[in-house]
Amino acid sequence: MDKPKDRPTDKRIETTAFAPEAGGGHLELLAPAGSWEAFKAAVENGADAVYLGGKSFNARAGAANFGPEELRSAVQYAHERRVKVYVTVNILVADREFPELIEYLYALYSIGADAVILQDPGVAWLMRHIMPEMEIHASTQMTVNTHWGVRRLESMGFARAVLARELSAREMAEICAATPLAIEVFVHGALCICYSGQCLMSSFIGGRSGNRGTCAQPCRLSYTLVDRAGQDVLAGANLGDHLLSPRDLNLAEELGQLRTIGVDSLKIEGRMKRPEYVATVTRIYRRALRRLERVESERVEGSGDSGLLEPEERRELTQIFNRDFTQAYFLSHPGAELMSYKRPNNRGTRLGRVKSSGKGRLFLKLESELNQGDGVEIWTGQGHEGLSVTGLRVAGHSVSRAQAGDVVELEFNGRSSPGDRVFKTHDAVLMEKARRSFQEGKEERRYPLTLTVRGKAGVKLELEASGLGRRLVVHSGGLLENARQRPLTVDYLRRQLGRLGTTPFFLETLQVDLEGDVILPVSELNELRRSAVAGLLAGEESGTLRLTPDAYLRRVEKWTQRLRAGRRAVPGTGVRLVSVAVADSEGLEGALEAGAGRILLGGERWRSQKGFSPEEVRRAVERCHKLGVESVWRLPRILNEGQSADWLKILKQAALWEIRPVLMVANLGELEMVKTLDPDWPLEADYALNVFNGAGIDYFLREEVRVITLSPELHHEQIGRLAGGSHLEMLVFGDLEMMVSEYCPIGAALGGKKGETCTGPCRQGPYFLRDRLKYDFPLETDWDCRMHLFNVKILNLYGELGQIAAMGIKKIRLQLVRSDRERVRQVVSLFRAAWEKGDPEKQDAKDVEKNLQALAGLYPQGFTKGHFFRGIL
């Protein structure tokens, strides 16, 4: 501490300084928060931004989430520390929820939330009209994985795209180079095995929809890969039975490459994780980013090491939670290396092996440290045995900590054998370290504050404060007086003015410039300190709202009128049509034999079928035209960058065909690609676009999409509110695709050794995933080696056709992409007779029952009504 300097005027001047650790770079570190404790953990451990959800409208309904006042407090707390807050509104929203949503969005705007994260295209369309002042980010649930998709997001008003987690480094680089939008990617945490937003497995099986934030994670359950005869094709392989459970993502060592690629934000997954997890992972990634800054600086000078994590940080990152780690698709296609086949939950870290056990004791040779309170799991031949370390002994003596190399004695009443592996699944020391980082009253994320005190007897005390890039001056209410005793000293002022509590400041520098011995009541000093801090923090607030409540309501009313006008503009008439989706020429023949008037060609090409080549599509379109049959060419649900380039070439050729086909797009990237190629190309929207409300319908209609297939997750009452006109199509029969994934369990398990070309075992199918209840879910592999998982039961709303017709639906779809020629013919004939030729509202009950029995004979696996009656709300 510097001594006071003597000056002729008897002024006392002293400076003390404390330097915080420097921040790291321009890459935003974005951390999750599912609770207030997790939020503080993220902020206090170095997050640049935090994403969190309110009590409604977010894709993690199982988290504690934030009520209105908690949201306000979180935004204030974060902004005082120069941290941004992004609020998740990343679910599909029903029409009846829009009034509540509109109020909620303005509340988020009014408290100063920095952005909202959206999935629903209808909600994005709403925000573009009623609140362009609020920044919107496109959730990974929107399944954007190409530069075409990002360009579409630009046109929709998004400021940021959260890319799908299936992208490679090269694809990320291509996207970053092609857009001015900020690009956000996941770098750590749990992975979905399916493209997010495209997974309907939990929804169809149990009614808990991932698109509504209630996913039950059926991918983490046990499955068996079986063949047509029901035989386990992996019996004896010792692979494990969690065939859909991925490892956890970890790109901590790839941060330099992500920076080079041009990524803007690094996202940590984990809104369902405990705050200690958030604290640990955020802290380690923050340190890695700081180290990256130093490494890159050293490289400029010709030196530097590329390692970004210390060994202890790697251990902590593994210890806090892991299902084993993967880099996913960042560097290459991982195959089986993506998966955690043997267990779907935390593995912990290797602790040692059992030496012996019995009589309530376990002897364990340690490979790493063990402490009282740690959690231990023993991997026995019969399963996993867990215990909490309460009595820890070494060489007969009770200890609180044991080191690597020690043989420890633990209380244990389970069964184990010598040589069993033991893992530490809970590290008490690490958890306490994490908890201390966000303990109330001990916050460490603070900014330096410089205070200068000036004055003399007979004038007001002047306090100049500098912090957060701002400067202000405040004055005491009363006057300084000559001190008879206990004058204002440097130490006294430091104690009083340095009491900054939970504010985001620490007193770095104090300068005292007082003439003579003076005094001021302590209450005045405290008020000066509070005023100075409040004044500096006031600059962090948004100030006067640019959008007033009245102006907002006027915009809402204008948008509502626009939506109604759009609905009125849609033709309400039209004949009833049965659309038949087929995947190959055999299906096409069956549909034509049954007299189908509208056929949807293509989509995915299954390796179990020949499929349609572009030339075969051209001939099919010409044939349908001659027969007076309407035809539509369905594009695949997923295209990556390379496949999009291939399809662009195909479509350029198709544009020259004598009869140009109508195209049905299944994602935003395809929509943008076709619009760029020819803005007048007739388009339709497939169900994978998740159109769930009137706003979504309005968006696509205004993009001149002439027919929109509704989400299969809609309830009949929701459909009834949307129906009316010939612009909507509804799935009523056929295969329900539950999942599409870059991972193929058939190829990963049976396709050969790692690094070798897959031998294509999928061609020897069919294969099924059998669950614990002995249901066999069909698997298909497409020609791009993606897995498609189907519901074991077939959607069948034949008995509800009268109700559907009464709603005003004109087009119904039969999804017969996996049916043979004869089944296509019979199914189409039955539905056409009821829908097109007869009056579905007046069907005879006996005829309905007879036809349902006929359908049951064609599909003995059974039927489901999907969400027509149960819905997902």
Residues 231-251: tens digit of each pLDDT = 999 998 889 999 999 999 999
Residues 85-108: tens digit of each pLDDT = 999 999 999 999 999 999 999 999
- Please choose, from the candidates 340, 337, 335, 401, the residue with its C-alpha nearest in 3D space to the C-alpha of residue 370: 401
Q: What is the mean pLDDT of residues 69-85?
A: 95
pLDDT higher than threshold 70 for residue 538: yes
Q: What is the mean pLDDT of residues 695-724?
A: 96
Rounded Cα distance, 34 and 271, in Å: 4
User: Does residue 477 contact residue 524 with C-beta atoms inside 8 Å?
Assistant: yes
**What does the pLDDT read at residue 12?**
29
Rounded Cα distance, 152 and 136, in Å: 14
What is the enclosing helix (H) or strand (E) of 657?
none
Task: Provide, rounded to the nearest whole percent, the portion of the chain with pLDDT above 70.
Answer: 95
Residues 310-356: tens digit of each pLDDT = 999 999 999 999 999 999 999 999 999 999 999 899 999 999 999 99
pLDDT higher than threshold 90 for residue 694: yes
Compute the mean pLDDT over every residue in the chain, rounded to the nearest whole number: 92
- Phi, psi at residue 839, to the nearest 5°? -110, 105
Cα separations in angstroms, 509 against 5, 51, 490, 492, 838: 16, 34, 12, 14, 87
* pLDDT tier at 305, thresholds 50, 70, 90: very low
Three-state secondary structure of 783-795? CCCCEEEECCCEE
User: Does residue 817 contact residue 604 with C-beta atoms inside 8 Å?
Assistant: yes
* pLDDT tier at 541, thresholds 50, 70, 90: low
**Nearest 5°: CA angle at 826, between 823 and 827?**
80
Rounded Cα distance, 672 and 179, in Å: 14
pLDDT higher than threshold 80 for residue 82: yes
First to last CA, the chain: 64
- 422-433: burial string, b at 16+ Cβ within 10 Å, e else: bbbbbbbebbee
Rounded Cα distance, 377 and 462, in Å: 63
Q: What is the mean pLDDT of residues 648-675?
A: 98
User: Does residue 66 contact residue 99 with C-beta atoms inside 8 Å?
Assistant: no
**What does the pLDDT read at residue 649?**
98
Rounded Cα distance, 160 and 90, in Å: 14
* pLDDT tier at 306, thresholds 50, 70, 90: low
Q: Give the sign of the dihedral formed by CA 22, CA 25, CA 26, CA 28.
A: negative
* pLDDT tier at 19, thresholds 50, 70, 90: very low
Q: What's the longest Cα–Cα distance across the chain?
A: 111
Q: Which residues does 8 contact at the CB level (< 8 Å), separation at least 6?
A: none
Which two structure tokens, joined as six digits, stand for 455? 């004055």
Rounded Cα distance, 540 and 504, in Å: 12
* pLDDT tier at 384, thresholds 50, 70, 90: confident
* pLDDT tier at 10, thresholds 50, 70, 90: very low
Beta-bridged to residue 398, according to DSSP, are: 393
pLDDT higher than threshold 60 for residue 201: yes
Residues 749-770: tens digit of each pLDDT = 999 887 788 999 999 889 999 9
Looking at residue 273, what DSSP letter applies? S
Rounded Cα distance, 94 and 393, in Å: 60
* pLDDT tier at 543, thresholds 50, 70, 90: low
**What does the pLDDT read at residue 780?**
97
What is the enclosing helix (H) or strand (E) of 378?
strand 375-380
pLDDT higher than threshold 70 for residue 539: no
Residues 110-137: tens digit of each pLDDT = 999 999 999 999 999 999 999 999 999 9
Q: What is the mean pLDDT of residues 618-643?
A: 98
* More confidently predicted of 756 and 421: 421
CB atoms within 10 A of CB 181: 19
**What does the pLDDT read at residue 324?**
96
Greatest mean pLDDT among 286-290, 304-308, 569-573: 286-290
Q: What is the mean pLDDT of residues 683-694?
A: 98
pLDDT higher than threshold 90 for residue 446: no
**What does the pLDDT read at residue 209?**
95
Beta-bridged to residue 186, according to DSSP, are: 267
Rounded Cα distance, 691 and 211, in Å: 12
User: Does residue 371 contact residue 400 with C-beta atoms inside 8 Å?
Assistant: yes
The region of weakest confidence among 12-21, 381-390, 448-457, 812-821 is: 12-21
What is the enclosing helix (H) or strand (E) of 92?
none
Task: Provide, rounded to the nearest whole percent, the portion of the chain with pLDDT above 90.
Answer: 84
**What does the pLDDT read at residue 140?**
97
Q: Give the amino acid at 295.
A: V
Three-state secondary structure of 127-153? HHHHCCCCCEEECHHHCCCCHHHHHHH
Q: What is the CA radius of gyration of the chain?
A: 32
Cα separations in angstroms, 832 against 590, 720, 801: 13, 22, 11
Q: Which residues does 704 contact at the CB level (< 8 Å), separation at least 6?
A: 679, 680, 683
Q: What is the mean pLDDT of residues 289-305?
A: 70
Q: What is the mean pLDDT of residues 592-617?
A: 96
